[in-house]
Chain A
Amino acid sequence: MIEIDRAHIRFRTKTGHVDAVRDVSLHVHDGEVFGLVGESGSGKSTLLRALAGLVPLADGAMRIGGQTAERRPRRDVQMVFQDPYGSLHPRFTVDRTLREPLAINGIGNQDARILDALAEVGLGPAFRFRYPHQLSGGQRQRVSIARALIVEPRVLLLDEPTSALDVSVQAEILNLLRRLHRERKLTMILVSHNLAVVGFLCQRVAVMRNGQVVEQLGVEAVRAHEVAHEYTKRLLLATQGYTRDTGAIEAQR
């Protein structure tokens, strides 16, 4: 479904350029949930944005369902962002937020679709005419997910969808994403720095560092702690909470 072949992403800076993603090749099957983990600045979000067509590739190729970013209909790939406080227009009601992608893509029967989308993410019709400031963080993230799903995409890209939320709300959103995956057979890519979240949703995981994929593995291997790369081992150790040696201060930046 998603083929990334030796992708290279480069940003210009004042003094030269920085290679945010270097020589990354990934294949994600149809209906699979794929996890991308790594520290901030490792290029995982950039890779996701490139898949959505928001960042140009310097080299390499990316195909979704066999089509490149320029040729593919935009609605096929939708994205959910990290911060539900920043990604919804503060002066749009939920109704208007959901209506816009429908209007852009020329989809009819809008009222029924809006109600369906709300119901699907577990929000009642009462939420339809509310503004974002009248919603909690979890409810906003549900609206973001509804906005992504309303155009019936084939691929859903999730950029840290739960890291701004409380654990109890995170559990609700993770359950929702899992149900959507089961019911709609969506292909999803989940970016997170939390291996436990990735382990809950994904079947396969790629670990990124400094713009490169250092390891790709199945989720069973992660659960069984059978990882090869030193960096992945440290990530796994960190999921068990603080111990005096997890924080070993060699990697100063």
Chain B
Amino acid sequence: MSDRTEAPLCEIDDLRIAFAGHDGALAPAVRGVALTVRRGERLGIVGESGSGKSLTGRALLGLLPPEAKWSAKSLCFNGQDLLAMTPRQRRHLCGTQMSMILQDPKYSLNPVMTVAQQMRETIARQGERLSKRAMRERIVEALAAVHIRDPERVADAYPQELSGGMGQRVMIAMMVSAGPQLLIADEPTSALDVLVSMQVLTVLDEMIERHHTGLVFISHDLPLVMSFCDRVAVMYGGRIVETCAARDLAQARHPYTRGLLAANPPLANPPEELPTLGRDASWLTESFDGAAR
């Protein structure tokens, strides 16, 4: 694991994102989020839809929609100040030092390019000049590394010819083969069924272990995050209400986290009725302490 004394891989402080409504009033979506990710650490961000978890991930990469109004006190990555960078410099980081895996490979892969063509683009971004044959070898190697059995065939396939699990592996191969220092995975397995998503997670697990990548894993599946990540941040209404070690999540103290955990039907002895989440307005404003960091 990472050394505690070294500087964090990335640091967000007081990130705020808002969108203008019909009447011009700003509706806040993320309100003062502070996060750090260490090298090789797996940080899970959980919360319901609309809690701002995806926006937080996108803000790190600089991929917020143009209409978003955002500000942050600091946004650092690998010792560089992202706020001081030009958009061009930030774009250059994407795909080389930081990358992202999205939810559904059906939409995140380009449907009119073969897998090899798309991977060529990503590999070319890393600045290496390779001969045609070396490039082909590199692509097939990267596909084989994510346990695709027939990489030659998959390389020449179009995304719609692949199953969901296969598509997501291609996505991982594309994003992780560069050895990025930070990977943001936004619900990488929500579109897949249970067993396939376990296989995809195994691949992801291996790849980030090999490259010592810092991972931000965005999900609404608490049990999954508990079993996959080192540390978990729980978001509600655009704020982080609680941060704790993943293995301690079952003993989480915040009523929102407890409510989310209880809403999962247990396999053994399910109750007559599942507890539903009562929401408290104070969660939006009050700071909660109690859980160990």
Contacts and interface: CB of A to CB of B under 8 A. Distances in A.
A253 B49 CA distance: 30
Contact of B149 (A169, A238, A239, A252): A252
How extensive is the interface on chain A, given as a class? 35 or more
Please name the 6 residue pairs, one residue from A and one from B, whose CB atoms are nearest each other, closest first: A247-B202, A241-B227, A171-B263, A200-B265, A247-B198, A171-B274
Given A167-B222, A244-B205, A246-B198, A199 B263 contact: no
Contacts of A41: 163
25 contacts: A39-B196, A40-B163, A40-B164, A166-B49, A167-B222, A168-B259, A168-B263, A172-B276, A174-B265, A174-B274, A175-B274, A195-B267, A196-B267, A199-B267, A200-B265, A235-B195, A238-B197, A240-B227, A241-B224, A242-B224, A247-B198, A252-B148, A252-B149, A253-B163, A253-B196
B199 interface: yes
A194 interface: yes
Given A174-B274, A175-B274, A249-B199, A166 B220 contact: yes
Contact of A242 (B48, B147, B201): B201
How extensive is the interface on chain B, given as a class? 35 or more
A229 B114 CA distance: 38
Nearest to A238: B194
B277 interface: yes
B203 A249 contact: yes
B260 interface: yes
Contacts of A137: 49
Contacts of B264: 167, 171, 196
A248 B202 contact: yes
A185 interface: no
A241 B198 CA distance: 8
Given A222-B267, A241-B228, 9 more contacts: A39-B196, A137-B49, A167-B48, A175-B276, A200-B270, A242-B205, A244-B202, A253-B166, A253-B196
A123 to B, nearest CB: 15
Nearest to A195: B267
Interface in B210-269: 220-224, 226-228, 259-260, 263-269
A39 B266 CA distance: 20
A174 B275 CA distance: 11
Contact of B263 (A167, A223, A235, A241): A167
A226 to B, nearest CB: 12
B148 to A, nearest CB: 7
Nearest to B275: A171
B23 interface: no
B273 interface: yes
A197 interface: yes
Interface of A: 39-41, 137, 166-172, 174-175, 178, 193-197, 199-200, 222-224, 234-236, 238-244, 246-249, 251-253
B6 interface: no
Contacts of A238: 194-195, 197-198
A168 B149 contact: no
Contacts of B194: 39, 193-195, 235, 238-239
B227 to A, nearest CB: 3
A31 B220 CA distance: 33
Residue among A171, A200, A222 having the largest count of chain B Cβ atoms under 10 Å: A171
Nearest to B256: A168
B274 A251 contact: no
B52 interface: no
B274 A253 contact: no
B201 A196 contact: no
A194 B264 CA distance: 11
Given A241-B223, A249-B203, A197 B196 contact: no
B165 interface: yes
Given A167-B221, A244-B205, A247-B201, A199 B195 contact: no
Residue among B147, B164, B194, B259 having the largest count of chain A Cβ atoms under 10 Å: B194
B193 interface: yes
Contacts of A166: 48-49, 220
Given A39-B193, A196-B267, A238-B198, A171 B276 contact: yes
Given A39-B193, A175-B274, A242 B263 contact: no
Residue among A166, A168, A174 having the largest count of chain B Cβ atoms under 10 Å: A168
Contacts of B270: 196, 199-200
Contacts of A236: 267
A168 B267 contact: no
A40 B193 contact: yes
